[in-house]
């Protein structure tokens, strides 16, 4: 490792004192890294079994055009996906534009005018707020007369008293956001989600439990559907695409709920039966197969970042030695210039667009200017090393992804190097 760290020191102009901290952080995280293999190996065998069960073949890697009738590769991929995530049915499509789009399909497909749904993990992520709406804005759930209520978390856990008061039998759906979003709270573990779902089902077993699974796939041994969730959704340019899927998203769970989401994706009557895969199948199959390993690489990088930034005096969440429930690492940098410098360093260490400097700017769906960094092979991919955050106090950045831990370390070293050169 001496040659590796020496090359980083020279490349990013790191002082001897900071380099000593970097090497110490690397040594300290080794025991945490070694404990991560069980999830990866278990998920890999689960995926392998599903591929073999459904007799995935080279033929299925080919795409289709036009309507996509008879696209057996697309259909086999969805059967494999359903097996892996323990779903009755899965909708895995290249024309689901993002995780937000996948979540919107689940919401609009299963909520009708006059229905009420409750977010029991606090206010949803910024882009979902624009889907929900507040004053009957065009195209939102509020325009349809769908009511939304929020139960905040208490000490990073579900507020069961608040849930009991808010989730009454007339509530149609309960939503749980597994990852932290743009907040400091801890991401929610599968065991906590299981307790919350069980509590809701005791109120009324017919309430739909919908989990935003973004950033959480293959991090723990179980997925939300295995502990009672009715529906999950996520993005293929996050964990389950393995860094190879060029686009796409998924909705999986109870068959009737997925059917309704599929009708929103295309149209009633044709639903999941149409949608050409084009060049999507090969990369989606291979990315799914690679996903557990890539998720492990990303988590190792996040652990290293937590250790190093903590040593340098910054608040981090989660801590390096904490149990991980998603791939996101939050770092509180306290002031805007530190955010810009840190993001500049991440960009400098990216394989693409390393020569550009990221700046905060207004983005659709966000209330505050947002800064983003990461020269990714797939635009916006957050299973590749990237970082973003809203420019608001206390100036927290959210780092995620990394196709190799060596690259994540390089990015973090470049980032702290930029802050050192203030």
CA distances from 356 to 102, 190, 343, 380 (A): 31, 39, 11, 16
Q: What is the pLDDT of residue 274?
A: 95
Share of the chain above pLDDT 90, in %: 91
Closest CA to 73 of 53, 59, 89: 59
For the ranges 177-191, 196-210, 330-344, which has the lowest average pLDDT? 177-191
Q: What is the pLDDT of residue 166?
A: 98
Q: Tell me: the pLDDT tens digits for 293-304?
A: 999 999 999 999
Q: What is the pLDDT of residue 136?
A: 86
Q: Tell me: the pLDDT tens digits for 58-105?
A: 999 998 999 999 999 999 999 999 999 999 999 999 999 999 999 999
The total of other beta-carbon atoms located within 10 Å of residue 144's CB is: 15
The total of other beta-carbon atoms located within 10 Å of residue 409's CB is: 26
Closest CA to 404 of 358, 354, 350, 353: 350
Q: Give the mean pLDDT of 227-239.
A: 98
* pLDDT class of 422 with cuts at 50, 70, 90: low
Q: Is 29 helix (H, G, I), strand (E, B) or coil?
A: helix
191 Cβ contact partners less than 8 Å away, ≥ 6 residues apart: 227
Q: Tell me: the pLDDT tens digits for 373-384?
A: 999 999 999 999
Q: Give the mean pLDDT of 307-323.
A: 97
Tell if the pTM clears 0.85, that is, is over it: yes
Q: Give the mean pLDDT of 327-346.
A: 97
Q: Give the mean pLDDT of 201-211.
A: 98
For the ranges 5-9, 103-107, 123-127, which has the lowest average pLDDT? 123-127
Q: What is the pLDDT of residue 134?
A: 85
* pLDDT class of 163 with cuts at 50, 70, 90: very high
CA distances from 208 to 158, 181, 198, 255, 258 (A): 17, 22, 12, 13, 12
Indicate if the pLDDT at residue 416 is higher than 90: yes
* 369 burial level (CB within 10 Å; 0-12, 13-18, 19+): middle
CA distances from 289 to 4, 42, 248, 380 (A): 29, 12, 16, 21
């Amino acid at each position: 490792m001496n040659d590796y760290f020496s090359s980083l020191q020279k490349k990013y102009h790191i002082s001897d004192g900071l380099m000593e901290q970097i090497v110490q952080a690397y040594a300290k995280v080794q025991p945490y890294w070694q404990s991560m293999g069980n999830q990866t190996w278990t998920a890999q065998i689960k995926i392998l079994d599903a591929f073999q069960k459904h007799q995935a073949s080279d033929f299925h890697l080919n795409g289709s055009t036009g309507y996509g009738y008879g696209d057996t590769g697309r259909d086999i991929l969805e059967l494999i996906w359903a097996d892996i995530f323990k779903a009755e049915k899965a909708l895995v499509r290249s024309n689901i534009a993002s995780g937000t789009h996948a979540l919107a399909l689940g919401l609009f497909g299963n909520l009708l005018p006059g229905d009420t749904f409750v977010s029991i993990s606090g206010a949803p992520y910024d882009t979902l707020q624009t889907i929900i709406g507040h004053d009957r804005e065009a195209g939102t759930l509020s325009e349809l007369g769908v009511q939304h209520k929020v139960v905040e978390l208490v000490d990073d856990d579900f507020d069961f008293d608040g849930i009991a008061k808010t989730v009454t039998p007339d509530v149609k759906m309960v939503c749980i956001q597994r990852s932290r979003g743009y907040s400091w709270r801890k991401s929610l573990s599968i065991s906590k989600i299981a307790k919350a779902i069980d509590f809701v089902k005791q109120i009324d077993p017919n309430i739909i439990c919908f989990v935003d699974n973004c950033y959480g796939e293959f991090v723990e041994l179980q997925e939300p559907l295995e502990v009672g969730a009715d529906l999950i959704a996520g993005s293929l340019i996050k964990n389950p695409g393995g860094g190879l899927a060029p686009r796409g998203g998924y909705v999986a769970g109870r068959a009737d709920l997925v059917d309704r989401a599929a009708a929103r994706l295309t149209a009633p009557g044709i639903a999941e039966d149409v949608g050409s895969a084009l060049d999507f199948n090969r990369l989606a199959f291979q990315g799914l197969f690679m996903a557990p390993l890539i998720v492990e690489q990303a988590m190792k990088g996040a652990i290293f970042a937590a250790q190093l930034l903590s040593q340098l005096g910054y608040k981090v969440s989660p801590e390096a030695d904490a149990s991980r429930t998603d791939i996101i690492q939050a770092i509180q940098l306290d002031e805007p210039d530190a955010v810009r410098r840190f993001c500049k360093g991440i960009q400098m260490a990216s394989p693409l667009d390393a020569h550009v400097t990221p700046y905060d700017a207004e983005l659709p769906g966000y209330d505050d200017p947002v800064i983003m960094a990461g020269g990714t092979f797939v635009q916006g991919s957050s299973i590749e090393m990237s970082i973003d955050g809203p420019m608001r106090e206390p100036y927290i950045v959210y780092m995620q992804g990394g196709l190799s831990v060596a690259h994540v370390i390089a990015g973090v070293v470049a980032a702290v190097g930029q802050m050192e050169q203030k």
